[in-house]
Copies of this chain bind each other. A is one copy, B any other.
Amino acid sequence: MALLCPDEITQLDSADPLASFRNRFALPEGIVYLDGNSLGPLPRETPQRLQQVVEDQWGRDLIRSWNTHGWIDLPNRVGAKIARLLGASEDEVIVADSTSVNLFKLAAAALREMPHRRVILTEASNFPTDLYMLQGLANFLGDGHQVRLVPPQDIEKALSEEVALLCLSQVNFRTGALHDVASVTRAAHRHGCLVLWDLAHSAGALPVELTAWKVDLAVGCGYKFLNGGPGAPSFAYVRRELQDRLEQPLQGWLGHRAPFAFEPTYRPAPGIQRILCGTPPILSLVALESGVDLLLEADLTEIRAKSMAMGDFFIRLVKQRCGDLAPGLASPSEASHRGSQISLRHPQAFAICQAWIARGVIADFRAPDILRCGLAPLYLSFGDLWRASQLLGEILESEAWNRPAFFRRSSVT
């Protein structure tokens, strides 16, 4: 049954300057995709670009493609493009490895830079892999190194001369709460700490200004708002003045000053290059480039404006449609305090998520009670959000809760 969208909503979509981007994605008909902050959808151009690299480059030109098709420079080339989304210089960003591995590299380098400080400060609600990697690093070094977890509101209080590194995510993965990066970074610098921001949920979703905010280090994800494909490689940012000082322990051959001289001793390459380690996964990197190229056609200010409007609109529609049954809001109610997501809280969030998916609205469940809705302005319309809210109302009004099948948990949720 098609839900008919009220005229006022159709008008919002007609006035949307980003509306034409929807057709640049190969999204299936009838799907409202609220999970682009978990895995961005397929850009229409990506299959063809990938096929070209596979058949014409790998297939025909074989090993020579490292030079003739510039594979060797791909981590820098894609990094330079991502830098434009981050308010950074082209030579401050490189693509390599996974977000977890890049976080380890940069956090390890920061600890080495601060030999007399032993604390990595972060928040308990940070994305778990960030916490795990930092714990792994601190345990591995031993010698009094520790990860200190505090609630978000206590971060500034917890800064001190003991803290080597403050490591936070700009946008909280569960709630979408947005840190004021400039202000938190300033506070950390007042105590002489380095800062490392995880931009997994902000890169490509809102304007980021790493240079203006004086951020030292950052990492981020290629497969969320950059639409780089499943497990797309990650990016790492190092402020230029730090680059030639930083020593990161994952010193692989592609971070060597002369990788093809095959010298027995490591000499770090100048600049951001030393963040590279092993050979990058070219096919996944090419898909990432395609996603980034598409994003660069859009204006991040327009993306942010639409994202904020969509968030407010969605909150209002859910309240209107669901009334007393409406889930609670787990995200900040003020749009400027949120990333590009709305998280709803409901004791039956898992079952609601499954029922929504069955009706074509794909969102994420995050234990124990969060229904996480990613708002990606490039391919979502106000009409999509209207449909999602109407279907949510139907689900909440139905008797579905009494059916045991709703409460089965899948292995990946």
Contacts and interface: CB of A to CB of B under 8 A. Distances in A.
Interface string A282-322: 11110100000000000000000000000000000000000
Given A63-B35, A278-B100, A50 B136 contact: no
Given A128-B256, A140-B112, A279-B98, A60 B28 contact: yes
A397 to B, nearest CB: 26
B50 A26 contact: no
Contacts of A46: 54
Contacts of A135: 251, 265-266
A407 interface: no
Given A98-B280, A128-B264, 18 more contacts: A28-B59, A35-B63, A50-B50, A58-B229, A58-B230, A62-B362, A72-B412, A132-B256, A133-B251, A135-B251, A136-B266, A141-B141, A174-B262, A229-B282, A231-B281, A262-B366, A262-B367, A284-B284
Contact of A149 (B54, B104, B128, B264): B264
Given A97-B278, A101-B250, A63 B39 contact: yes
Given A97-B101, A223-B279, A58 B35 contact: no
Nearest to A266: B132
Contacts of A35: 62-63
15 contacts: A41-B62, A42-B54, A51-B51, A66-B412, A97-B101, A98-B252, A112-B140, A128-B264, A129-B278, A136-B249, A137-B249, A139-B249, A141-B141, A143-B143, A230-B279
Nearest to A99: B278
A20 interface: no
A38 interface: yes
Interface string A212-227: 0000000000010000
Contacts of A71: 230-231
B67 A252 contact: no
Contacts of A93: none
Contact of A59 (B41, B63, B366): B41
A263 interface: yes
A47 B39 contact: no
B100 A101 contact: no
A377 interface: no
A383 interface: no
A355 interface: no
Contact of A282 (B47, B54, B58, B284): B284
Given A101-B101, A253-B132, A282-B229, A33 B54 contact: no
Interface in A386-413: 410-413
Contacts of A248: 136
A115 to B, nearest CB: 10
Interface string A227-239: 0011111100000
A131 interface: yes
Interface in A200-214: none
Given A101-B277, A411-B67, A133 B26 contact: no
B260 A230 contact: no
Contact of A411 (B63, B72, B131, B285): B72
A261 interface: yes
B47 A55 contact: yes
A131 B265 contact: yes
A362 B63 contact: yes
Given A26-B55, A33-B62, A101 B252 contact: yes
Interface centre among A54, A261, A357 (most CB of B within 10 A): A54
Contacts of A229: 54, 58, 282-283
A107 to B, nearest CB: 11
Task: State the 9 A-B residue pairs at the shortest beta-carbon distance, nearest first.
Answer: A98-B278, A100-B278, A100-B252, A129-B253, A281-B284, A230-B282, A140-B249, A136-B251, A42-B59
